Structure 1
Amino acid sequence: MLNSIPGQFKKAAAFINNLKPATTRQEIPDSTQAGLYLVMQPSGSLSWAVRTKIDGKAAKVTIGRYDEVGRDDRAGNIISATQVLNVTQARAAAEKVIADAKRGNDPRQQKIDKTSVSAWFDEFIKTARATGFKGRAVKATTADEYERIIATNIQPHWKHVGDIRTLDYRDIEKLLAKLSPGARRNAFAVLSAFFRWKSVARVMGRNIIELAEAPAKPTSRDRVLSHKEIKTIWNASEKCGYPFGPMTQLLLLTGQRRDEIANLKWSEIADDAITLEASRTKNSRPHVIPLAPLAKTIIEALPKIHDADGNPSEYVFTTTATTPFSGFSNGKKALDKHCGEPVLPEWHLHDLRRTCATELAKLGIKQEVTEAILNHKTGKVSGVAAIYNRYDYQDEKRDALEQWATRVQGIIANNVTILKKTA
């Protein structure tokens, strides 16, 4: 047994730094805190342990690894074998362990709530909705997407992680390797925001996302559907049925973004138009989408979904009555199956938006009108003109979308069938 660890911090640190490992494991008692030991392994590794009694029986509790600097105390006074503690911190932790043992609490069974991954993800979502990370709350749809990605692509792969401080960049890379390319990019984007969040960075003492290899950027797409493909997808949408079938048809007819239609509420439809508040659009600008007769007919044929208590859902497209439709992967698979043979070359829902814009150009629609329909921020109207030109092109937008709907009807010929009001 070596001499006990000196009480004064600087002397204690110098004493520990001069220790030499032996051929057997050694326990060096602390001169200030009874029950605290510095454990030195033959390999030279150092850890802290506390010897006390729990339920009347002798017990040893490992409280962390030795480090001259120690942990960031903003992480809280918790008990974890994976944390690093200097002499002063180890003495405080030992005192807590002994006090807890006297109260009948087993420190070895304590949950590390303040540093659990699950708890921090919950706080991340709450902060995103309340104050955000740059002085204002993020949009509700963005916070919903954060929550969905964490629940489906991240947490299921990190169930074994109890303490967030044990994560490093290799854990991120292992997680990303298990995901599809699209899910990989989404997860990396959320984790980037999460680990750059100051609260998490303070607890971890570093930003591990900076060391992880970022997923490759998606290749730029220029896929525009041919008239034959439009007809195939339209017919498949009819076979696919509610909610994904008519949702796909509206995406083609309106040229809007996927989530703006998927999250559509009945209250947003009135007077032959859809009106989206700024919080519902990607560029945070309110947006009015005129409905051509064909689009209006599709909406009027949609079923009204009710919850278990018989209350009508506020959402136009839903399978639960309480949340908007989100099963895009399964919906797309079903739609592709109904497209039949030969298999339609790889396409995405966003191609419907690009196809709509391209076809509007073929119809001779002015670029500024198309951009107004798509609710684009940039384009032909920019600079000083964008500041002073507040004209919203509502009449031109309606005329353009009606022309496009007529073109679609011509493409699909006599195959227009209004979907039945059944879910």
Structure 2
Amino acid sequence: MLGPIPAQHRKAASFINNLKPPSTRREIPDDAQAGLYLVQQPSGALSWAVRTKIDGKAAKVTIGRYDEIGVADDRVGMLISPTQALNVTQARIIASRVRNDARRGSDPRQQKVDKTGLATWFNDFIKTARASGFKGRAVKGSTADEYERIIATNIKPHWAHVNDIRIIDYREVEKLLDKLAPGARRNAFAVLSAFFRWKPVARAMGRNIIELAEAPAKPKSRDRVLSYNEMKTVWKAAEKCGYPFGPMVQLLLLTGQRRDEISQLKWSEMSDDLEAIKLEASRTKNSRPHSVPIAPLTKKIIESLPRIVDADGKPSEYVFTTTATTPFSGFSNGKKALEKHCGEPALPEWHLHDLRRTCATELAKLGVKQEVTEAVLNHKTGKVSGVAAIYNRYEYQEEKRDALEQWANRVQAITGDNVTILRKPT
């Protein structure tokens, strides 16, 4: 017959680790703490339960699941959660508290699980990223915004059941990643890596679970370039979509800039005569200031955009916005609407970033020099790199303008618009 769990911690852990799954559910009493039982399921799952009396009636309170290491947190004994990980000593501490509370007439089952749920941890993580960062300096604002977007769209919806971060293990991470598309999978893993390495979380959990999770495979390098027919389809669909997503897509194609550089564009970042977009270093991926000449067709689209105002009638600082206080962020719904307007047959799988690649490819077809194309894209690789990048400080501003005006003319010809845009004389 199976005896009780030994009182000595090390012997108790060895006793539990050597248990074999039973044919039916069984409860094994603890020799050191009255009322504490280890519940063993045929599946091998182990949980802790306390049997006591509440208001004179027999009651069973599940206080956590067995884990040899347990949770490294000084709040053990204050927390009651059926999903938290507890070693033998921790289970005994909580069992003693449950029985004492029951004697005083307090029902431990009605107590809150934790004062800091998953949402609070994530909120503090984002605040820290913006304020001080994790390596001695705050992360870029656009990076913090991306962290926040990924958490809101790819992580929180799948962990709505998590009321305490200590119940998360690497299998929860892998299950979440399996539900996401390849690109989103890599992004979510990167954010979770930073989150679980963050010192407050690491201290609360006692270990870094991300090291046990299998990292998503690096996605294959994309080479998707839209054909002329596909460009025309996307352009016409963007016209039907309307503000803000439609014209935003058109500007992405016409300028070749990155998605967030255009979606988060501010009116103050455009010159008064709408001849150029000027992005500060904090708004670009390579942390270099960048000037984008505005071609006549691009200018025409910008001039047609509405100025959104907030509840007080104050104009928004953002060019593309639905709230007046934050930049546009509904990419998933926007792309679904765009693809609906594209009609049938559906375009083969494509992403907004493919517009940037398409722009670069078409500039090459137009005979634009590689270093000018890289200047348009704000790249410092390829032909202008290494020593050349250090000593060549020329910005190619007029060459960029000429290239983007040629490209705008090509786009207009491809999309079938009747208005002719004359090239600026040199």
TM-score, normalised relative to structure 2: 0.81
3-state secondary structure, aligned to 1:270: coil
Shift of the 36–268 alpha-carbon distance from structure 1 to 2, 3 Å rule, reads: same
Q: Decide which moves more: 370-379 or 169-178.
A: 169-178
* 1:210-289 correspondence to structure 2 within 5 Å: 210-271=211-272, 272-289=275-292
1:124 maps to 125
The reply to whether residue 302 of structure 1 matches residue 305 of structure 2 is yes
Deviations 1:120-146 (A, max 9, x none): 222222222222222222222222222
The reply to whether residue 311 of structure 1 matches residue 314 of structure 2 is yes
Q: Decide which moves more: 68-77 or 353-362.
A: 68-77
3-state secondary structure, aligned to 1:252: helix
Which residue of the other structure, out of 74, 83, 86, is the alignment partner of 2:85?
A: 83
1:375 maps to 378
1:421 maps to none
Deviation at 1:380, TM superposition (A): 1.4
Deviation at 1:353, TM superposition (A): 1.0
Contact 1:46/1:65 (8 A) holds in 2? yes
Shift of the 68–236 alpha-carbon distance from structure 1 to 2, 3 Å rule, reads: closer
Partners of 1:62 and 1:342 lie apart in 2 by 55
Letter in 1 for 2:209: I
Contact 2:67/2:85 (8 A) holds in 1? no
Q: Where in structure 1 are there 5+ consecutive unaligned residues?
A: 419-423
Partners of 2:216 and 2:385 lie apart in 1 by 33
Letter in 2 for 1:184: R
* 1:399-418 correspondence to structure 2 within 5 Å: 399-415=402-418
Deviations 1:155-204 (A, max 9, x none): 22222223322222322232233333333333233223223334323333
Deviations 1:58-101 (A, max 9, x none): 756454567776542346543334332444x4565456546656
Partners of 1:230 and 1:416 lie apart in 2 by 18
Q: How many pairs are equivalent?
A: 411
Partners of 1:42 and 1:263 lie apart in 2 by 53
Shift of the 240–79 alpha-carbon distance from structure 1 to 2, 3 Å rule, reads: closer
Partners of 1:28 and 1:344 lie apart in 2 by 64
The reply to whether residue 151 of structure 1 matches residue 159 of structure 2 is no
Deviation at 1:262, TM superposition (A): 0.9
Deviation at 1:211, TM superposition (A): 3.3
* 1:49-128 correspondence to structure 2 within 5 Å: 61-64=61-64, 71-74=71-74, 76-77=76-77, 78-81=79-82, 82-87=84-89, 89=90, 92-93=93-94, 96-97=97-98, 105-113=106-114, 116-128=117-129
2:293 maps to 290
Partners of 2:210 and 2:138 lie apart in 1 by 23
Shift of the 405–182 alpha-carbon distance from structure 1 to 2, 3 Å rule, reads: same
Deviation at 1:209, TM superposition (A): 2.8
Shift of the 254–75 alpha-carbon distance from structure 1 to 2, 3 Å rule, reads: farther
Letter in 1 for 2:133: G
Contact 1:278/1:284 (8 A) holds in 2? yes
Partners of 1:236 and 1:69 lie apart in 2 by 56
Shift of the 387–48 alpha-carbon distance from structure 1 to 2, 3 Å rule, reads: same
Letter in 1 for 2:73: D
2:424 maps to none
Contact 1:266/1:315 (8 A) holds in 2? yes
Letter in 2 for 1:174: K
Deviation at 1:339, TM superposition (A): 3.2
Deviation at 1:250, TM superposition (A): 0.9
Partners of 1:394 and 1:4 lie apart in 2 by 80
TM-score, normalised relative to structure 1: 0.81
Partners of 1:336 and 1:46 lie apart in 2 by 49
Which residue of the other structure, out of 357, 360, 382, is the alignment partner of 2:360?
A: 357
Letter in 2 for 1:235: K
1:391 maps to 394
Shift of the 68–266 alpha-carbon distance from structure 1 to 2, 3 Å rule, reads: closer
Q: CA RMSD in A?
A: 3.7
Shift of the 222–66 alpha-carbon distance from structure 1 to 2, 3 Å rule, reads: closer
Partners of 1:373 and 1:362 lie apart in 2 by 15
Letter in 2 for 1:359: E
Partners of 1:187 and 1:215 lie apart in 2 by 10
The reply to whether residue 330 of structure 1 matches residue 329 of structure 2 is no
Partners of 2:36 and 2:140 lie apart in 1 by 51
Q: Where in structure 2 are there 5+ consecutive unaligned residues?
A: 422-426
Partners of 1:45 and 1:221 lie apart in 2 by 44
Deviation at 1:291, TM superposition (A): 0.8
Letter in 2 for 1:305: I
Q: Decide which moves more: 376-385 or 193-202.
A: 193-202
Deviation at 1:376, TM superposition (A): 1.2
Deviations 1:223-258 (A, max 9, x none): 222333333332332222211221111111111011
